[in-house]
């Protein structure tokens, strides 16, 4: 298992139109492959905390396949999508309805089959401020990201599964 690393916080740059958001992505050339994939798993969760939907849309083609899809059961079935554009449209609506939503990726494991150019990234995600819930209520979900290496060497996520986790916990 590869350890988690923090994602930069953009609070100080929220209104800066000149910000080059591509610099926020992990560098696949200077990072060992498993560590890079782990960092990408964390980034794809934490980006929802730190970036506006328009900034996420700008970055999405760099790591998210156009045929990206999401499979989710209740209560996250509202995030089920059959394309990248459908998913990010749902993200934008979700963020508007849940302005206090925050997520943290934890326990990321990378299962890499470099010979077949595939990887499965499994992790847990703690969330706060979901659907009007108090910020002290933390929900844990399991997520499974299916990634593939493109011919040009870049890695793209093509499928995300959101599974129910162990439940909710009230924090103080």
| Highest mean pLDDT: which range of 4-13, 31-40, 121-130 | 31-40
Q: In angstroms, what is the C-alpha Rg of the chain? A: 16
Model pLDDT for residues 122-171, shown as the tens digit of each residue: 999 988 887 777 777 888 889 999 999 999 889 999 999 998 776 655 55
Q: Are 134 and 44 spatial neighbours (Cβ–Cβ below 8 Å)?
A: no
Could you give all domains of the chain from N- to C-terminal order, each with its CATH number? 18-170 (3.10.450.50)
**What ranges in the chain are assigned the alpha helix state H?**
33-50, 53-59, 84-97
Cα 124 to Cα 8, 27, 51, 53: the distances in Å are: 19, 23, 20, 22
Model pLDDT for residues 56-80, shown as the tens digit of each residue: 888 999 999 999 999 987 767 778 8
**Helices H, strands E: what count in the chain?**
3, 5
């Amino acid at each position: 298992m590869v350890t988690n690393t923090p994602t930069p916080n953009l609070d100080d740059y929220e209104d800066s139109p000149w910000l080059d958001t591509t610099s926020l992505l992990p560098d696949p050339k200077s990072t060992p492959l498993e560590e890079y994939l782990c960092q990408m798993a964390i980034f794809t969760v934490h980006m929802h905390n730190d970036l506006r939907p328009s900034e996420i849309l700008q970055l999405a083609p760099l790591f998210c396949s156009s045929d990206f899809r999401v499979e989710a059961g209740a209560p996250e079935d509202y995030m089920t999508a059959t394309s990248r554009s459908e998913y990010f449209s749902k993200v934008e609506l979700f963020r508007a309805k849940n302005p206090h939503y925050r997520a943290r990726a934890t326990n990321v494991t990378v299962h890499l089959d470099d010979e077949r150019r595939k990887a499965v990234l499994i992790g847990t995600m703690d969330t706060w401020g979901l659907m009007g819930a108090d910020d002290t209520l933390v929900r844990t979900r399991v997520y499974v990201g299916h990634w593939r290496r493109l011919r040009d060497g870049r890695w793209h996520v093509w499928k995300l599964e959101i599974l129910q986790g162990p439940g909710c916990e009230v924090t103080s």
